[in-house]
Amino acid sequence: MHVGILTGGGDCPGLNAVIRAVTLALINEAGARVTGIHRGFLGLLTRESRRLDPDAVVGILSQGGTILGTHNRCDPFHYFGANGADASGQAMAYARELGLDALVVIGGDGTMAIAHGFHKLGLPVVGVPKTIDNDLCHTDRSFGFDSAVAVVAEALDRLETTARSHGRVMIAETMGRYAGWIALEGGMAGAADIILLPEQPYQLEAVAQRCREREGREGHTLICIAEGAKPVGGSLTVAATIADSPDPLRLGGVGALLQHQLQPLIQSEIRATLLGHVQRGGSPTPFDRVLATRFGWHAAQLVRRGDFGRMVTLSGSEIASVRIEDVANKNRPVPDDHSLLLAARGLGISLGT
Ligand code: F6P
């Protein structure tokens, strides 16, 4: 059996842990040959790959990023290198030339959509859910999320001491795209006083009111805002548009915007910090190392069983799987009745509503 493996979309902590688990499980348990495709689906078009053996994955469990490289613009069905034309036949030809019996694809909703396309063309695929945003459907967690939350929590801890010293309002802007999972869990872990999510458009006056209350009591305020948050009746804050990307909008800057809008309404000075790609880099947390390893081992079992067209998932504390087409190009927002939202409200944390 010859199995390919690739990492698609934006990177995140834990990718190498999956690569290691898939490689070792397939070699040890199935005597398979494993080939890593370089830079996501782009490697299938540029014909770049390399053999993965136990030596190739030594010491990578704790390393951030991906030893295979990745690409977040390459969709072979609409290939940017061919003016958006369908180059999937070229990718299939390379997969056939390599003699791949299966392809393990590690990525988010966009990568799963491409994987589904190849599955329909006859390349057997198995998916592994990756994204710091935790917004993939049908899985309680994607690996990378816990590591991002840890960064946000530490940032808020650090912002709190300087906020307290100066009597300031500190705004930390998180990633997360259109979902508020990172801001919600990071904000809770870092004891934010106000948490603003895309799913709960905020009233500027409600945010100002909470800051004024705290000016008179604690003297400082911590705000954790998701990059996809917006005021009631407002729109997303877009940092850039990348024309040939499958998901062209890059969000960013809503924290600075909030600082600008809030300043005239309160006495304290405000400072905004954009956490940015710091949330995506570095070593995965132990939770993510274990989750990524469990996902990788289960993906190898799906390959061994010939159970293709499926993505591994975490359901409660158990690993399961769903059809890739059920997660392709879909997002999972924070539901209004999520227990952590209820807990936040119960603790008196403002959601700006
Ligand atoms: O989906 C992961 C993510 O980090 C989002 O949270 C963020 O909006 C986006 O990717 C950033 O993308 P890029 O790395 O292309 O700037």
Secondary structure of the chain: what % helix, strand, coil (to 5)?
40, 20, 40
How far is Cα 333 from Cα 7, in angstroms, rounded to an integer?
A: 24
Phi then psi dihedrals of residue 3, to 5 deg = -120, 130
**Which atom of ligand 1 is found nearest the CA of 176?**
6
CA angle 61, 65, 68 (to 5 degrees): 90
Tokens of 137: 């459907």
CB contact at 8 A, 172 and 223: yes
What percent of the chain clears pLDDT 90, i.e. is strictly above it? 97
Tokens of 328: 């392709």
- The β-bridge partners of 35 are 4, 51
User: Across the chain, how many H-helices and E-strands are there?
Assistant: 10, 13
**Is 10 a pocket residue for ligand 1 (Cβ < 6 Å)?**
yes
CA of 77 to the centre of ligand 1 (A): 21
Distance in Å from the first CA to the final CA of the chain? 55
pLDDT in tens, 253-303: 999 999 999 999 999 999 999 999 999 999 999 999 999 999 999 999 999
Report helix angle 109-120 to 88-98, nearest 10.
70
**Is 175 a pocket residue for ligand 1 (Cβ < 6 Å)?**
yes
**Which atom of ligand 1 is found nearest the CA of 133?**
6
What would the mean pLDDT of 168-193 be, rounded to a whole number? 98
**Average predicted confidence (pLDDT) for the chain:** 97
Phi then psi dihedrals of residue 35, to 5 deg = -125, 130
Phi then psi dihedrals of residue 253, to 5 deg = 110, -5
CB contact at 8 A, 295 and 128: yes
Of 248 and 98, the one with more pLDDT: 98
249 three-class SS: strand
Q: What is the pTM of this model?
A: 0.97
CA angle 71, 74, 78 (to 5 degrees): 170
Tokens of 304: 């061994």
What would the mean pLDDT of 12-21 be, rounded to a whole number? 98
What would the mean pLDDT of 113-124 be, rounded to a whole number? 97
20 three-class SS: helix
**Which atom of ligand 1 is found nearest the CA of 245?**
15
CA of 83 to the centre of ligand 1 (A): 23
Q: If you compute the radius of gyration of the chain from its CA atoms, what whole number of angstroms results?
A: 22
How far is Cα 56 from Cα 67, in angstroms, rounded to an integer?
A: 9
State which of 280, 331, 332 you would mutate to test the pocket of ligand 1, scoring each by most atoms of that ligand within 8 A of its C-beta: 280
CB contact at 8 A, 42 and 314: no
**Is 131 a pocket residue for ligand 1 (Cβ < 6 Å)?**
yes
Q: In the Cβ-directed half-sphere of 116, how many Cα atoms lie within 13 Å?
A: 17
Which residues, at least 6 apart from 23, have a Cβ–Cβ distance to it below 8 Å?
5, 34, 52, 53, 54, 56, 57
- The β-bridge partners of 314 are 319
Of 348 and 243, the one with more pLDDT: 348
How far is Cα 264 from Cα 305, in angstroms, rounded to an integer?
A: 62
One-character DSSP codes across 58-78: TT-TT--S-TT---SS--GGG
Helix intervals (H) in the chain: 15-30, 42-46, 88-98, 109-120, 145-166, 181-189, 204-216, 254-262, 286-305, 339-346
**Which atom of ligand 1 is found nearest the CA of 277?**
4
Phi then psi dihedrals of residue 106, to 5 deg = -110, 115
State which of 7, 74, 133 you would mutate to test the pocket of ligand 1, scoring each by most atoms of that ligand within 8 A of its C-beta: 133
Task: Identify the active-site residue in 133, 146, 193, 288.
Answer: 133
For ligand 1, atom 11, which residue shows the shortest CA distance?
A: 250
What's the pLDDT band for 127 if we cut at 50, 70, 90? very high
CB contact at 8 A, 222 and 193: yes
User: Residue 27 above 90 pLDDT?
Assistant: yes
pLDDT in tens, 43-75: 999 999 999 999 999 999 999 999 999 998 999
**Is 176 a pocket residue for ligand 1 (Cβ < 6 Å)?**
yes
Please say if 133 is a catalytic residue.
yes
Strands 221-226 and 2-7: unpaired
DSSP 160: H
CA of 133 to the centre of ligand 1 (A): 8
Of 124 and 81, the one with more pLDDT: 124
For ligand 1, atom 10, which residue shows the shortest CA distance?
A: 10
